[in-house]
Structure 1
Amino acid sequence: MRQPARFFSLNKPSDWETGTASNMTINEDGVTIGRVDKYSIYRTVHTADIDGADAIADFAVGSGSKLYVLDAKAALWVHDYENRYTEPFYVPGHNLFTGQSLLAARGDSLYIADRSQDRRIVSISPSNGQIVWAAHEWNGLELFPLAVAVDGMRRLYTAVPLDTQPGQADEPEVPEGGRIVIVQWGLSGEMMRQFGHDEFRLEHASPLSALHRRFAVTVSDSGEPAMLDTASGQVVSFHADGSLKAAFRAEPGAAFASVSVDARGLLYIGEAQEGDPAENERFIRSCAAGGKLLGKVSGYRARADKLLHDGRARMYALDLEKGSVTLLDLQSRTMAMPATGLPEAWYISAPLDSTEDETEWHKMELLADIPEETQVRISYFATDERFGVLDGQVVDYESYFADPAIPMTQKWSASRHLWSEPVVNPQDALLMNARGRYLRFRLELAGSDRSGPVIRRLRLHFPRLSPIVYLPPIYQEDPDGGGFLERFLAIFGTFFAEMEERIAGVSSNFDPDSVTGAYLRWLGGWLALDIADSWEEPNLRELMKQAPELYKMRGTRAGLKRMLHIYTGVEPFVVEHHELKHMQEQSELRQLLGRLYGDNPYSFCVMLPPDCVRTDKQRLMVETIIDDQKPAYTEGKLIVLQPWMHTDMHTYLGINTVLSEPTVLTLDKQSSMPHHTVLVDKDRDKRIDIHTRMGLDSELD
């Protein structure tokens, strides 16, 4: 009925990359609007969520979903925000630190810094509250910590003044010109390195109480610290060896209060401006390491008196005014086009050359995922000429549209008279009044904040082949009804074209490499095998390819091993009864071998590691394979090997058992425990449990 179809198909990145795109992502999955990771609010923890706590004064991020929260009465709480569970760590009245203390934590290290206590810096074990180390001076200089941070190796960084002197009311003060430096502490409390810069000198003498929260410190996981002076907006960052990395002044006029660094090395600076937030919007700004402003975190517009990042790229912001900690995580969002500020993308194709003048283009077929609140609009124009007039000048269309120096908005505006009316979300649409050798099309992808359409494939058919040519001439010559009739018949033409395409490609339905999902399992059913859901598609394809050879080997040891190898990906161990015959001659082994392998001469054992049989469904499938592939008169037994050593059980050296030399238990990088060490609990009859605390009721002997 129909002539062979001719079409241009764009379904690979190389096809789309010949055109010009704006704010568009082109990859193997298709064509869509560009996306960017943005911080959005995940959860907010309020003071009221922590039962018994006073106003939040500071916080630190613990392991998992735990927060260490310090309240104004100096009580320390452990709050699990995922499970909404809170327990006290230090109740009020402990007199160990005050409500103006500073917290920092990473992994199993918790640090508390308080300039007004005898122990200025304390490292505490979060598991039992035991003090690991404490410091109150450094190189003979009395410590007054002003800010704290922890890196990925649990090393502490503190901002401290180098010079202090007695002030009014016996309160120490930092003199004019006094320097503020960052001191790095090791896991055992030893001072390791000092980071300093001349920019951090006080212009006027200031009491220590006035410096509370004036300085903020952050550090990357690799140990590169940065410090912010909130009074001047000065930011200085350092390399891990102590050398200067960058120094810059944050945006003037803003009341910056905090700084944090993420895993990519980007700095985030938070505001804490006073006043009505409706009038004074506060933002968290992101900056490159050199200070270049990259943007604002639009998902959070409140005070950020303290900022932290954890290992999961999650950001935490403390609002002392509201008494809340807000958790923000990175979520993929549709990117806004800079020219319009809207989540959209534009595309103009390269010319599609039919090689014949006056070609009448037929239709377009679009394969796309178009979520709700998104849209695909396609316009087109055809011409026999390569040149035309745009903006009053004769231009080469191909060179003009491909020129990266011309903004896309200018191309869009200058050529608006060329394009057809846009076809919205087409699946199969005729190209009306598209006559010419060269066809170009224009895409407009409109998305929402969270999603955008994805074009998998676009086909443009030519020349016009309509079923109307098979009708009597009177229907073809009707100037009034011919257009409608042609569009109506195009529906049936599409059905016929799809049917013919399926018939032409029917052979691919029998190729295991080209079919997927339920159809692949249906095809696998042709092998007279019990194909269960536990078969992964790659394994099932391999089985189908090897099926002819496997049928020849059915009922043999080699066939069983190959079948199990295809299913599990692991070579099984098969032990037959005759292999144990020489060992059964020893009476002391006969009973053991019977228990392990059985005493039936027509039985065999198949041994597999536990990773191959993780579920009951997989175990059933393995047993089905053994039963299907074994000789009819034999019995197959499945043994799942465990990675443990047990005498008189299935223990095989080099398979599921390893012998090693005695080793030393390493406590940390500075300490170790020899193999003959004994833990002695003085008060609990040498039992190790949660009551055992080194140096309090237990000792290493």
Structure 2
Amino acid sequence: MNYKDPTYYILNKKRDFERGYLHNIKITDNKIKVEDNHKGKGVFISDIYDSHEIKTVWNRMVMEQYGDGLVKFTYYACDEADAIKEKLKSEAITLKEIEALIKEFQVKTVVNAFDIMLNDAVGRYFWFKIEILNLKEKEAVIKSIRIEFAIQSFLRYLPEIYQEDYESRKFLEGFLGIFQSLYMDLEKKIDKNSSYFDPDIADREFLDWLCNWIKIENAYIWDENKLRYLLKNAVKLYEKIGTVKGISDIVQLYASEKPYIIEYYNIKNFSETKSKYEELKRLYTENPYEFIVLLSEKSIPTEKEYKEVYKLISEFKPAHTEFKLVILKENIFLGGHSYLGINSYLSKTSNMQLNGLSKIPFIKLE
């Protein structure tokens, strides 16, 4: 079906809301809400919007908001608004004076309706008033408002007999407008279909959906930015499954730290020195099919992260191999995993403590 897209005004930035009249309303992060110290009630009156054509039939209002407060939406329309626009520019005008000035042009008031048809608003100029009432701890925040007009009605696809009577035509246009809006919203989603498959711009729910396509079964463990990177680079990462590089990359992506990976052949090189070789086997492994992954406690602070990293390594390790995941604590353990410059450091001398209780003073030998 070939039809003309609606022309629209949209308010979704700070400067858009600043053009209107604010009474006990504040603008934060390009959104409007009631000021904290005004008992949960505020009023916003928009700028006057010009369609540049008399007897314009305004089409639709879509408001994006969140929270549970009460939102009352009142809209106005007329063909001559120069006098009103001039008076509204006055900084001394009060809310009561504005409401008295525009009352005769009021079309309708709706409560907590965030997608409504405006077919009963006819005139070149259009504006609206929003009253926000927060109930106890329930706060309403308006994120954006879209006003559509100059739309070609689906009525034109029906036989002319349906357009002969003015009252009948007006009713039928409003009735068809409901289905027309649904149709247009669906068509916009189809037009933007590619955005659902782009990891850079897809919503979080679609990121999880994309993960199912490429068998990322633990999408919930990733924060959003890392998950986007994982989706974009999944093929490259999966090509390295079963390799040291693959394990290192996936662990580094999750933990934001490159792990140390020790394989059996790394310690086998010391087999000629028996005492050292035996100590390395005890500390690491003597199994040719086992490897060790070392990570700092800072990158894996809780048991939850430990289990998630363990699961990632299990998915990327070579078949028929075993591994140990060792968390390096910032302490020195004799005979344990203590590495100078990694999890232990040389510092100024201090008294040695045993069990956190007894102190052994430093004695300088002559």
TM-score, normalised on structure 2?
0.86
Asked if 1:619 corresponds to 2:315, the answer is no
2:191 matches 1:504: yes
Supply the distance in 2 between the matched residues of 1:604 and 1:437 (Cα, whole angstroms): 75
Deviations 1:67-120 (A, max 9, x none): xxxxxxxxxxxxxxxxxxxxxxxxxxxxxxxxxxxxxxxxxxxxxxxxxxxxxx
Structure 1 residue ranges without an equivalent (≥5): 37-334, 337-342, 389-396, 666-673, 678-701
Aligned-residue offset at 1:656:
1.5
Please, what is the CA RMSD of the aligned residues?
2.7
Amino acid of the structure 1 residue aligned with 2:194: S
Unmatched runs of 5 consecutive residues or more in structure 2: 353-358
Paired with 1:408 and 1:606, the residues of 2 have a C-alpha distance of 68
Equivalent position SS for 2:99: helix
* Structure 1 position 547, deviation (Å): 2.0
Aligned residues of 1:445 and 1:453 also touching (Cα < 8 A) = yes
1-structure distance, mates of 2:34, 2:9: 23
How many angstroms does 1:616 deviate by?
4.6
Q: Are residues 1:474 and 2:161 paired?
A: yes
Q: Whole-Å Cα distance in 1 between the matches of residues 259 and 86 of structure 2?
A: 63
**1:460, distance to aligned residue in structure 2 (A):** 0.8
SS at match of 1:530: coil
Aligned runs of 1:366-385 on 2, under 5 Å?
A: 366-369=63-66, 371=68, 374-383=70-79, 385=80
Q: Distance in 2 between matches of 1:622 and 1:452?
A: 40
Q: Aligned partners of 2:151 and 2:269: how far apart in 1?
A: 82
Aligned-pair CA distance for 1:598: 0.5
Which residue of 631, 636, 647 corresponds with 2:318?
631
Q: Work out the CA distance in 2 between the residues paired with 1:365 and 1:581.
A: 69
Residue 634 of structure 1: how far off its partner (Å): 4.2
Given the superposition, is the C-alpha separation of residues 509 and 479 from structure 1 closer, same or farther in structure 2, using an over 3 Å criterion?
Answer: same
- Whether contact under 8 Å (2:268, 2:277) holds in the other structure is no
* TM-aligned CA deviation for residue 462 of structure 1: 1.1
Contact 2:65–2:144, Cα closer than 8 Å, also in 1: yes
Corresponding residue to 2:181 among 486, 489, 494: 494
* Distance in 2 of aligned mates of 1:12 and 1:631: 52
Amino acid in the other structure paired with 1:641 = L
**Whole-angstrom CA distance in 2 between matches of 1:376 and 1:453:** 11
Correspondence for 1:237: none
Instruction: Give me the whole-angstrom Cα distance separating, in 2, the residues matched to 1:662 and 1:649.
Output: 22
User: Percent same amino acid at aligned positions?
Assistant: 32
Q: Give the Cα–Cα distance (whole angstroms) in 2 for the partners of residues 676 and 20 of structure 1.
A: 73
Provide the secondary structure at the position in 1 that maps to 2:172. helix
1:359 touches 1:435 (CA, 8 Å); kept in 2?
yes
Cα 1:560–1:398 change in 2 (3 A) is: farther
Aligned pairs (5 A) from 1:457-468: 457-468=144-155
The equivalent residue for 2:106 is 419
What secondary structure does 2:108 align onto?
Answer: coil
- In terms of Rg, which structure is larger? 1
1:400 aligns with 87
In structure 1, the partner of 2:32 is 31
Structure with bigger helix share is 2
Amino acid in structure 1 at the alignment position of 2:202: V
Per-residue deviation, 1:662:
2.6
Q: Which amino acid letter does the alignment assign opposite residue 11 of structure 1?
A: N
Q: CA deviation at 1:523?
A: 0.9
Q: Which moved more, 1:16-25 or 1:419-428?
A: 419-428
The residue number in structure 1 matching 2:12 is: 11
Whole-Å separation in 1 of the counterparts to 2:61 and 2:180: 13
Give the CA deviation at 1:387: 1.6
* Equivalent-residue separation in structure 1 for 2:11 and 2:187 (angstroms): 21
Quick check: 1:26–1:32 contact (8 Å CA) kept in 2?
yes
After superposition, what is the alpha-carbon deviation per residue over 1:609-638, rounded to whole angstroms, capped at 9, x for unaligned? 234444554333322322332333644332
1:463 Cα shift? 0.9
C-alpha distance in 2, partners of 1:633/1:408?
76
Matches of 2:250 and 2:218, distance apart in 1? 13
Shift of 1:607: 0.7
Deviation at 1:419, TM superposition (A): 2.7
Show the 5 A alignment for 1:104-115.
Answer: none
The DSSP-based 3-state class of the residue aligned with 2:4 is coil
1:549 has 2:236 as partner: yes
CA distance in 2, matches of 1:441, 1:495: 23
In 1, Cα distance between equivalents of 2:24 and 2:221: 42
1:362 and 1:464 in contact (8 A); partners too: yes
| Residues 371 and 451, structure 1, Cα contact 8 Å, conserved in 2 | yes
Question: 1:462 and 1:509 mapped to 2: Cα distance?
Answer: 28
Which of 606, 612, 630 is the matching residue for 2:293? 606
The residue type equivalent to 1:469 in the other structure is: R
Deviations 1:672-699 (A, max 9, x none): xx9849xxxxxxxxxxxxxxxxxxxxxx
1:350 corresponds to: 47
1:96-111 aligned within 5 A = none
Aligned partner letter, 1:619 = Y
Deviation for aligned residue 1:357? 4.3
- What displacement does 1:664 show? 8.4
The 1:641/1:483 distance shift into structure 2, 3 A limit, reads: same
- Deviations along 1:563-611, one digit per CA (max 9) or x if unpaired, are 1111112221122333323433222122221122111234321111234
Provide the rounded CA distance (Å) in 2 between the counterparts of 1:345 and 1:518. 34
Call closer, same or farther: CA 1:469–1:567 in 2, change over 3 Å. Answer: same
Bigger strand share:
1
State whether structure 2 residue 137 is matched by structure 1 residue 450.
yes
Q: Are 1:533 and 2:226 counterparts? A: no
- In the TM superposition, residue 370 of structure 1 has moved relative to its aligned partner by 5.4
Letter paired with 2:147? L
Give the Cα–Cα distance (whole angstroms) in 2 for the partners of residues 477 and 423 of structure 1: 30
Judging changes above 3 Å, is the alpha-carbon distance between structure 1 residues 370 and 416 closer, same or farther for their aligned structure 2 residues?
A: farther
Q: Which amino acid in structure 2 is aligned with residue 364 of structure 1?
A: M
What is the TM-score normalised by the length of structure 1?
Answer: 0.47
- Whichever residue aligns with residue 33 of structure 2, its letter is T
* CA separation of 1:568 and 1:399: change in aligned 2, threshold 3 A: farther
> Deviations 1:362-398 (Å, cap 9, x if unpaired)?
12112223526x2322222243x4522xxxxxxxx44
Q: Distance in 1 between matches of 2:6 and 2:111?
A: 24
SS of match in other structure, 1:500: helix
Which of 641, 646, 652 in structure 1 is aligned with 2:333? 646
CA distance in 1, matches of 2:330, 2:45: 60
* Aligned twin of 1:21: 22
